[in-house]
Amino acid sequence: MKKYGFSLKELLYINLRGIALIFKLGKKVPVILLVSLTCAVRTYWTIWFTAILLDDVTTGAAQEVIIRDLGLFVGGGLAFSLLKAAVDHYYFFLGSGIWDAANIHLNEKILNMDYEYLESENIYNKRRDLEEMAHVKGGGGINMLYWNLMSLVWETVDIVIAVVYMVQMILKSGSAFQGSRLYSVGFVLFTIVLTVLGMRQVNRLHKELFEINNQMIPCFRESGYYVSDYLEKESSGKSIRLFHQQPLIWGHMEELFRKMCGFQAKGFRKWVQIDSITSGVKNLILCIIYFYLGILALKGVLSAGDIFLYAGSLAVFTNSFSIWVSILTQLAGNTKYLKAYFDFLDIPNKKYEGVLPVEKRDDNRYELEFCNVSFHYPGSEEYVLKNFSVRFRIGERLAVVGRNGSGKTTFIKLLCRLYDPTEGEILLNGIDIRKYDYQEYLSLFSVVFQDFKLTALPLGQNVSAAMDYDKDKVKEVLRRAGLGGLLQKFEMGQGLETPLYTDFDADGVDISGGEAQKIAIARALYHDTPFEILDEPTAALDPLAEYDVYSKFDDLVGTKTAVYISHRLSSCQFCNDIIVIDKGRVVQHGSHEELAEDKKGLYYKLWNAQAQYYQV
């Protein structure tokens, strides 16, 4: 039998794994739960001493006994109230950061998962859904499990104590009248059955509520897109105003808002039904309890204190059992969100990371070779590269040119092992790169991609990509990259500690696109790797400006291997080795002079087609 799509074994496993994670995230949570066990009996403290006081008064106990009982009643109640307040406060304090702590695991996963996952829309949506699940009402994953955990402990303890008193009541009722013990058992069973039937209806309503919440998650995702990914972007602001998109955007957002309000109204009605059933069942059971206990009192079986004790215990049982079932129902529905969280963490890395150390050569002589490499992206059958073969050595200047979409960037992704070939192999000094230690192999390359990113962190950390860095080296590469003037300007303020951009710091400095490109180049130079790669980071510049950047970078690289990617042939004519890619295949290979003389080749056609842009 499955609940919410899970077997009982799966429900227990996933929720126990969630509890284990909570204990790991908040190491003091188990201690707080243990202390909270004493708070669970707080409910009974009032019942116990009220029953004792009633018996003492009705039996004519001495004044000092009554005063003692009153002292224990008031003092104990105050002590439990203070303890509960302290436990609640500290539990809330720990819980206020529980999702942030759980979120760190998700971010750590993203930092370490295979690159191909980051280009997957499916993975991106799963990550955003987890964020929405953490905040949607009735959902929550780790959040909901945490906030229900203490209540679950309390209600369980209260139920166990109540069961003990129900058994005691059954045993006492045996002398009331013929069959009275049987009647007591029947009464208790009737109370339990009535509670269970009520909770079954509540369970059904909770399922419907979770379904409503599931339907709301895409709405939250779309709302997040409009607010964060569109309206807040400067580029969107220009389009909105120039193309008068305000009615279009507002119309979509208004429709989305109405849809969300509809779901919230449905959810509210479900909550009203849940509260109505719960209150109705509890009130009905309380009436039955007092009626039955009244009969036992008239028969002289129970004292006034007993009546209050058992009535209170049965009331606690009814209330606690309904809450307990409600919590379990919510946690059962919440299991879907917990599973989504753990499924994300459990996504396996497919890439074999290798164990061989990369050879440390004094002469930095490395040879890389693509041997009949073919590749298509995951989820697609269309090959981006087909039977691709090329070889180059350290110190060479290799240019990879071709039309847009010919496979140039894919070549770089395979070279840097962001993806592995679908067919064929890539060799470093004659050994398949998959056999090398992955991190060591990556350390051979510094790449400035077309879509390079700088972060809203200090300038020094952007260049070094590290918390701690060599300040003199950072300054040196910034000057070499042509940013001496900017560095001098920054040193009048916070220097290398100057934050880039103003996203999070009002003292940050917004930089131009050209300055950002040079900082990205300085970052590549700082890491001082054997291979330096430019993957069209200057595509937005005009051809002459791009040529200027490429040629200056070539001077900066010195004796290292440099790989230049461009669809503009002028930018790479200084390279001693040029390969021309068309539709994922190497169609030409040679120097600029050799390729420009081949009038039947693609290079000749592209060169002459672009020649008008090279004139000064």
274-313 pLDDT per residue, tens: 777 777 777 777 777 777 777 777 777 777 788 888 888 8
> What are 489-546's pLDDT values in tens digits?
888 778 888 888 877 777 788 888 888 888 888 898 898 888 888 887 665 566 666 6
pLDDT at 277: 76
Percentage of the chain exceeding pLDDT 70 = 88
Is the distance from CB of 342 to CB of 400 less than 8 angstroms? Answer: no
Our CA dihedral for 404, 408, 409, 415, rounded to 10 degrees, sits at 180
Mean pLDDT of all residues in 100-106? 85
Quickly state the pLDDT bin for 425 (edges 50, 70, 90).
very high
pTM: 0.72
What's the rounded Cα separation, in Å, for the pair 405 and 582?
9
SS3 371: strand
d(CA 102, CA 255): 33
Tokens of 520: 């990205």
Instruction: List Cβ neighbours of 21 (8 Å cut-off, separation of 6 or more).
Output: 102, 142
Only one residue has tokens 């890395």, namely: 349
Query: How many angstroms separate the CA atoms of 268 and 354, rounded?
Result: 55
Q: Are 213 and 224 members of one domain? A: yes
Backbone φ, ψ for residue 450 (5° rounding): -60, -40
1 within a domain of the structure (yes/no): no
Cα–Cα–Cα angle for 124, 126, 127, rounded to 5 degrees: 65
How far is residue 525's CA from residue 95's CA, in Å, rounded to a whole number? 45
Confidence band for 353, pLDDT divided at 50, 70 and 90: confident
Average pLDDT over the chain reads: 80
> Do 542 and 534 meet the contact criterion of CB atoms below 8 Å apart?
no
> What H or E segment, with its residue span, contains residue 483?
none
Residue type, 277: I
Q: How confident is the model at residue 1 (pLDDT cuts 50, 70, 90)?
A: very low
CA dist., res. 210 & res. 429, Å (int): 57
Most confident range, picked from 2-11, 145-154, 181-190, 490-499? 145-154
Are residue 600 and residue 466 in the same domain, yes or no?
A: no
> For the purposes of burial, counting CB atoms within 10 Å of the CB of 18, is it exposed (0-12), middle (13-18) or buried (19 or more)?
buried
Is residue 351, in this structure, part of any structural domain at all? no
485 CA to centre of own chain: 41
The confidence score (pLDDT) of residue 60 equals 77
Domain match, 554 and 520 both: no
In a domain, 26, yes or no: yes
Q: Which residues contact 24 (CB under 8 A, 6 or more apart)?
A: none
* 567 and 510 fall within a common domain: no
User: pLDDT tens digits for 307-341?
Assistant: 888 888 878 887 887 788 778 878 887 888 899 89
Model pLDDT, residue 393: 74
pLDDT tens for residues 356-412? 888 765 555 678 899 999 999 988 889 999 999 888 776 778 888 888 888 888 998
Select from 271, 252, 275 the least CA-distant residue to 263: 271
Domain identity same for 516 and 553: no
Condensed to tens digits (0 to 9), the pLDDT of residues 583-601 reads: 888 888 888 888 888 888 8
Ranked by mean pLDDT, the top range of 25-34, 36-45, 144-153 is: 144-153
55 contacts 304 by C-beta, under 8 angstroms: yes
In tens, the pLDDT along 186-237 reads: 767 777 777 777 767 777 776 777 777 777 777 777 777 676 667 666 667 6
**Which one of 311, 345, 379 terminates a domain?**
345
- Name the domain boundary from 528, 561, 582: 528
**Is the distance from CB of 584 to CB of 407 less than 8 angstroms?**
yes
pLDDT score of 571 more than 70: no
Q: Which residue, among 287, 323, 332, 409, has the nearest Cα to 7 in the 3D structure?
A: 332
- Strands, sheet with 431-432, edge to edge from the N-terminal-most edge strand: 385-393, 367-375, 423-428, 431-432
| Domain carrying residue 470 | 453-528
The CATH code of the domain that includes 99 is 1.20.1560.10
**3-class secondary structure per residue, 548-597:** HHHHHHHHHHCCCEEEEEECCHHHHCCCCEEEEEECCEEEEEECHHHHHH
Of 443, 437, 444, which is closest to residue 366 (Cα–Cα)? 444
Of 176-190, 283-297, 561-575, the least confident? 176-190
Label the pairing between strands 445-449 and 531-535. parallel
Asked if residue 331 and residue 391 are part of one domain, the reply reads: no
Residue 388 backbone phi and psi in degrees, to 5? -85, 125
For 188, the 3-state DSSP assignment is helix
- Tell me which residue of 591, 593, 547 sits closest to 399, measured CA to CA: 591
Q: How far apart are the first and last CA of the chain?
A: 78
DSSP state at residue 351? S
- Say if 397 falls within a structural domain: yes
Shared-domain flag, residues 558 and 476: no
439 plus 460 within the same structural domain? no
Question: Alpha helix locations (H) across 96-141?
Answer: 98-112, 115-118, 121-133
Q: What is the number of domains present in the chain?
A: 3
Question: How is the chain split among helix, strand and coil, in percent rounded to 5?
Answer: 65, 10, 25
Which one, of 372, 365, 374, 356, lies nearest residue 392 by Cα? Answer: 365
Q: What is residue 358's DSSP assignment?
A: P
CB 46 within 8 A of CB 54: no
Q: How confident is the model at residue 615 (pLDDT cuts 50, 70, 90)?
A: low
Whether residue 93 is contained in a domain is answered as yes
Both 336 and 197 in one domain: the answer is: yes
Which of these, 526, 515, 528, 511, lies nearest to 466 by C-alpha position? 526
**Does residue 352 lie within any of the structural domains?**
no
What is the CATH number for 580? Answer: 3.40.50.300
pLDDT at 4: 57
The reply to whether 461 and 435 lie within a common domain is: no
What is the predicted pLDDT for the residue at 232?
65
Confidence of residue 168 (pLDDT cuts 50, 70, 90): confident
Residue with tokens 């087909």: 386
Distance set, CA 527 to CA 462, 470, 477, 518, 552 (Å): 12, 11, 10, 15, 18
Mean pLDDT value across residues 248-277: 80
Residues 551, 419: one domain? Answer: yes
CB atoms within 10 A of CB 163: 15
Residue whose structure tokens are 């592995």:
420
State whether residue 403 is helix, strand or coil.
coil
> Which of 528, 562, 588 is the last residue in one of the domains?
528
Q: How far apart, in whole angstroms, are the C-alpha atoms of residue 80 and residue 91?
A: 16
Provide the token pair at 602.
């693609």
Per-residue pLDDT, 44: 81
- Per-residue pLDDT reduced to its tens digit, 430-476: 899 999 998 889 888 888 888 888 888 888 898 998 888 899 999 98
Q: Identity (one letter) of the amino acid at 140?
A: G
- Domain contains 159: yes
Q: Are residues 202 and 304 in the same domain?
A: yes
- Tell me whether residue 153 is in a domain: yes
